[in-house]
Amino acid sequence: MKLIELRKQGYKALVDSLGVAGMIRFLQQFDVGEGDYTKEHYQELDHLTMEDFRSYIRKQRAKNEEGDKKC
């Protein structure tokens, strides 16, 4: 089977199973994107300090405690 036939049958199977909108939503999950995630991710983290991290944890704990009081 040639790749074009395989692709056609795959699309047909997705449409038959998920409908057109479902097929599109499914295929959108496989967007390649652009850039270098790892490099950009570490660049964002380079400027953070341990105190930034501690502050974030304190805020999250306070937020969770606030949510627990509402229940």
Tell me the per-residue pLDDT of 19-59, one tens digit each, with 9 for 90 and over. Answer: 999 999 999 888 777 788 788 877 877 788 899 989 999 99
Let me know: does 14 contact 25? Beta carbons within 8 Å: no
The predicted structure's pLDDT at residue 71: 63
pLDDT of residue 7: 93
The pLDDT score that the predictor gives to residue 47 is: 83
Same domain, yes or no: 41 and 26: no
- Same domain, yes or no: 42 and 26: no
Predicted local confidence at residue 20, as pLDDT: 94
pLDDT at 54: 93
Cβ burial 11-36 (10 Å sphere, 16+ → b, else e):
eeebeeeeeeeebeeeeeeeeeeeee
1 pLDDT tier (thresholds 50, 70, 90): confident
Give the domain range for residue 17. Answer: 1-30
Cα 24 to Cα 19: distance, rounded to the nearest angstrom:
9
Clarify whether residues 19 and 42 are in a common domain.
no
Residues 6+ away with beta carbon under 8 Å from 18: 25, 26
Same domain flag for 53 and 71:
yes
**48 and 70, same domain (yes or no):** yes
* 16 and 46 co-located in one domain: no
